[in-house]
Amino acid sequence: MSATRAVILAAAQNNWLKERASRYAFVRKSVSRFMPGEYLDDAVAAAGQLHSRGLGTVFTHLGENIADASEAEAVVEHYLQVLQRTRAESLSTEISIKPTQLGLDLSEALCERNLRRLLSAEDPTRTLWIDMESSPYVDATLRLYRNTLADYPNCGVCLQAYLHRTPHDVSALLPLKPRIRLVKGAYREAAEIALQRKPEVDARYFDLARQLLTSQMNGLVRRAILATHDPRLIGQITQFATQEGIRREQLEVQMLYGIQRAPQEQLASDGWRSSVLIAYGTHWYAWFMRRLAERPANLWLVVRNIARSKSSSRSTIELK
Ligand SMILES: Cc1cc2nc3c(=O)[nH]c(=O)nc-3n(C[C@H](O)[C@H](O)[C@H](O)COP(=O)(O)OP(=O)(O)OC[C@H]3O[C@@H](n4cnc5c(N)ncnc54)[C@H](O)[C@@H]3O)c2cc1C
């Protein structure tokens, strides 16, 4: 892991910085590059535009590591409202939740109850995704997934290619016919836990992507999503799919809102499934810092916005 990335990821966990960041217009302006706004209305408007261009969408309401059960309850209530709203708007949007947002730090049982409430309200033809957080949560998240998958086959989980354990986790999940969203991994992890070098992570990602796509073809995986912005990997994966005779509508690439917009649309117009995860909400600090860490060149965006905010007479900039 590069020193810059390590410093940004350490800053992502710093409460002092977190409390101050949102006060600055240049930070809020930089965040707006990666999210359409703080409110559900903003996400719904963005989803409508993306659907009209042939892209699928997934919503995630930002927030993690809530401190008491009433906060988890508010998160559940919010997502129930999202499910109603997207249905009313005829949007085929799915949702992706973080276990610590549903109370995993408080109790696994509480988190599972909350997840089940959402699953029972979700349309069974849509996948409800469970995000994967940092490595101490992986075992509990996979337990949660196994427990709920038995009753809700439309539940899906994210797996991180950089973890040494992930090839084993994939093999262990296959007999359950899982839905898996494969990512590289966004957290600061020690060398004993995760691969540190990009070429190694990329090679691991490609191996797992091939395994998931082949397993999807053989019916062992219900749905595989390749969530990456990496143009080289996406090229390798689409080439593999073509060689193996995988139909274009059977391969889905997912990216984050605001990143690689042109390639997102290109994939869709070439006939592959392409979808966008839209994050929104007021608790964006840690999430935004992880986006900076993924591409330290994004720091220039922040620097540019500092320069602009100094030359601007406006004291606040709306997050839109
Ligand atoms: C839909 C989706 C869901 C995710 N869910 C999770 C999750 O549950 N748990 C988890 O740990 N991680 C999650 N991630 C984040 C993921 O782990 C990676 O940190 C992130 O996707 C960056 O890795 P990459 O595959 O794009 O490749 P990288 O090698 O990081 O990037 C490849 C190229 O993509 C572009 N790019 C990548 N990131 C950015 C960025 N932030 N800003 C601008 N350009 C960028 C750059 O051109 C870069 O050169 C998710 C990512 C996506 C797309």
pLDDT in tens, 267-302: 999 999 999 999 998 887 778 888 888 777 777 666
pLDDT computed for residue 312 by the predictor = 55
pLDDT tens by residue, 25-78: 777 777 777 889 889 999 999 999 999 999 999 999 997 778 899 999 999 999
**Given the structure tokens 């490609």, which residue do they identify?**
206
Integer Cα distance of 242 and 78 in angstroms: 41
pLDDT tens by residue, 184-243: 999 989 999 999 999 999 999 999 999 999 999 999 999 999 999 999 999 999 999 999
pLDDT computed for residue 79 by the predictor = 98
**Given the structure tokens 């600055």, which residue do they identify?**
24
131 is catalytic: yes
| From 105, 131, 202, 230, active-site residue | 131
Nearest CA to ligand 1 atom 41: 291
Which of 189, 198, 201 lies closest to 161 in space, CA to CA?
201
Assess whether pLDDT exceeds 60 at residue 143.
yes
Ligand 1 centre to CA of 306 (Å) is: 25
Ligand 1 mutation pick, 64, 182, 183, 264, max ligand atoms within 8 A of CB? 183
Contact between 189 and 163 under an 8 Å Cβ cutoff? The reply is yes
Is ligand 1 within 6 A of the CB of residue 64? no
Atom nearest to 276 CA in ligand 1: 1
Ligand 1 centre to CA of 294 (Å) is: 6
Sequence-distant (≥ 6) Cβ neighbours of residue 130 within 8 angstroms: 96, 97, 99, 115, 141, 144, 145, 155, 156, 157, 158
Ligand 1 centre to CA of 315 (Å) is: 32
Ligand 1 centre to CA of 295 (Å) is: 9
Is ligand 1 within 6 A of the CB of residue 61? no
Helix (H) or strand (E) holding 160: strand 155-160
139 is catalytic: no
Integer Cα distance of 284 and 267 in angstroms: 28
Nearest CA to ligand 1 atom 29: 230
pLDDT computed for residue 305 by the predictor = 66
